[in-house]
Every structure is written in C-alpha cells, then in structure tokens.
Structure 1
Amino acid sequence: MVDDKIRACVIEDEETARQSLVKALNKLNDFEVVCSDGSVDGGVKAIIENEPQLIFLDIKLFGGDAFLLLDELRRRDFDIPPVVIITGFTKFEYAKKVFNEYKNEVITILEKPFWEDWEIKINSILEKYYESSPVLNTKIYDNKIIINEKNKSLIINTDDIDYFAIRKVKNGLGRLHIYTKTKEYTTNKSLKLLENDLPPNFIRINRYEVLNFNKVYEIDRKSDTVFLKGIKDGFSIGRPYKEPVYVFLGLK
C-alpha cells in the first residue's frame, strides 16, 4: 500500500537551516522529505528527479534565487507542485513579490525562525496544500486504486483503466488524471509515485502518460504512436521512453 505522507523537497542555502527543517518535517506524520539541496541547479535536478508533491523553497540560493529556480522549471515544462516560500524577516517583502508573481505555484510563506509557532505554521501549510489539491489521498492495493475524497472513497480496478495522464488545470498546476472507458478521475499523487506500484502491464510512454498495454491494439513504429481500443487519437512515445517500450513489447 502506498504511503499517505506528502512527498516534500527542501531547497535552502543555509545548511543548518536546511537540515533542521528536513529533520522537523520527517518527524511529522504528514511529510516525507524525498530530496533537499541548497543551489538553483541542484534544486532543479532534485525536483525533476524526485517529483515531490510540495516544495519548501528559500528566496536566496547558491547560484541564484527562487525566481531563477522556478523559471528554470517552467522553461523545462515541468509541472511545478505547490510551493512554500521560506524567508527571514529582512526578506519578507521580496518573498511577497515571489508570492505575487508565482501565485499559481506559491501557496504560502514560511517565515524564519521556523520554530516560532511551529505547529500553527505547519497546520496552515497543510490546510493551504489540501486546498490546492482536489483529492486528498490515493492508494494502490490488490490491483485496485483507492481515491479518498473528503466525503467518499472511490475504488477503481486497474483492469478498467485505459491510461493515466498529467493535464494542466486553470491555475497552471499539473494534475494526474485517471481515464477509464466511461469515467475520468483526478488525483494529487505524482505519476512517478503511482507508476512504481502499478501492475507490469502499465508502461510509461512519455513524460506525461502511462498506458495500460492490455488495451493497446496497434503501434505505428514509423511514427512511434500507440493506439488504445476505443480511443481515436494515438499516444506518442517520447524519445527517452522508446527503448524500454519496445523492449517490453519484445521488439528489441
């Protein structure tokens, strides 16, 4: 069963502050820190590789600042998860500028020192995070996907799923959608996190889509396009994913 903790990443240039925040978050039942760094380049790399669900981001970083890091993620067309800006009192006005210019990504500001009213600050962050997430929790168990919403739980058999796809929503954030023949569901879990727990017939064909290959009826190898039963449009295989897809099919 998939852990319900929020996968967090801490990007903070002050090593002591970074380690303290990582340790404090990991002590809570709500978070699992999956990556941390102190620079723009290292932060971008860590975020893309680990696909966290929440980023704690300091204003000042080695090699630049929060603006530069967020701009680079946008340039790479990365679906930026909710962001908590970290700042000290002297940089608060600068933090508000980031908050205003990146209002689609930044959900709140965490002021230093962290430990003043720590419980209140964390509860506020959790509230803002869940406000930005249409679905609270998603689990995979015994070939079933369980989506826990506020007032009900939805259970989907993986055999009924055609594909998973990240789609943009109005506020610019990427959300993972689950498509069956008759319905569409939304979850705030990352594609990478779900992919690791899916049955082996689910294969990632590009950065944004995972297909149920039990539903595939044709593959155009000339255009690297996959076609699913009952769906008119094809799905393009991304270049980095081409070899593993064809290995799975026994074509290499």
Structure 2
Amino acid sequence: MAELISLKATARARAGKGAARQARRDGNVPAVIYGNQETPETINLEYNELWKQVLKGRFTSTAIEIDVEGKKHIVLARDVQVDPIRDTPLHVDFQRVGKDGVIRVSVPVRFVNEAASPGLKRGGVLNIVRHDVEIFCPYDKIPSFFEINLEGLEIGRSIHASALNLPEGISTVIKNRDFTIATIAGALKGDDDSASTTDAAAAPAGDAKAAAPAAGKAAAAPAGKAPAAKAAPAAKPAAKK
C-alpha cells in the first residue's frame, strides 16, 4: 500500500494571476485546496520539496497530508499544471478527502509470467484494454498496482475485472459488468495473407523465367526466312471430247 506524502505549505492571502506570479518569483508553487463542502484555500508550496515528490512518481494517485501553518489536510492531487518548456510545476489543484476517507483513484495494472503463457509462446499478442483500473478505496490503502498472472493462458482467453485481487474495502468504479482488462489475441490475418501473397508472386516469376527461352525462339522466327508454303496441287487437265 502507498504511504502518505507529507508537505508543508503557507497560506496565500490573495488569489489571482498576480499573486501566483509573485509566489513563483519567491521560489514557491501556488496551489489551491478545495472540496468536501468547505471553502477553498489558496496556499504556497516550497518548490524544491514539491518537485522531489513529483519526481518520485504516482504523485496524483497517492494521498497527501498538507500542513498549512499547523492545520492539516488530507488531499489528493487532481491536476498539476506544468511549464510547457521546462516541464516544471506551475500550479497544483488538491481535492480534500471526504469524512468517510474514501477516494476515487486510478491504479496501474502490471502483467507477470508472460513467458509461461502458451498463447504468447505460439505467437499470440497481449492486447491490453485497460492500463489502469479506477477504484474506490480508503485514502490510506491505495494499492501501488494490480498484478495479473498470465501463466497458462491460451490464445483467445480474456482477463476480466473479476481476476483482480481486491483487498477488503476496495471496489471498482464500474460495478454493473465484469469488464475486460486484456486479451490474448492470435496473429493478425494480414501476416498470413502477406506470406501467401509473397509465395503466389514468386511462382509466376519462376514460370516466366522458364517460359522466357521459348518466347525468345517464337519471337525470333519472323525475323528469319519464313518456310516456303506447300504448293497447291495442280489442276487436272480437262478431258478431251
């Protein structure tokens, strides 16, 4: 399970672009905390501390505890605006975790034992339908990832949501159907067709080479002296009266 990220922040008295620019000039990243039917709060985060957490990965899928001058908030980063050139954070939107502590988050899916899948050994392809699965879970029990074992799977088999090992208190957002996560697909028909086309194209080429000498002889015949045509039989003389 993922651990809570801890960040310290200071309250930002003014909102707007001017205040946000000033915060960046001071080496901070402007942010806002909203949700849970409470008044939004504008804050400043220390740039270096925030950037360290972003570089670790999974920043938007890990619960965060923000200490705003002694007042603590449990939040989830919903949007991180970055500089289009330097790719550094410019602004962060945080959503408060509700009183029940349950949040909606996307968790990545990992596939293991590909070498033990007979279908993949025979040339099948792992067709991933969902790289992430959305779940409802307590903020302090977010799984790092879901693991799916491909051992023994043949071509044509599908992996559904029911194959996920969901811990207690965690459920998928989609509840009305056992949705597909991945399939073991067979080789594309285009591959077989292209091979057949190649063989078919090769056969006439060989026949053409074999027929080439005969064609050359036939073409050379008119160039030489044409054989004399057989003379028609002479007419019999008319009978004397």
Per the shorter chain, which TM-score range? Answer: under 0.3
TM-score by length of 1: 0.25
Bigger relative CO (Cα 8 Å, ≥ 6 apart): 2
Q: Which has the higher helix share?
A: 1
TM-score by length of 2: 0.26
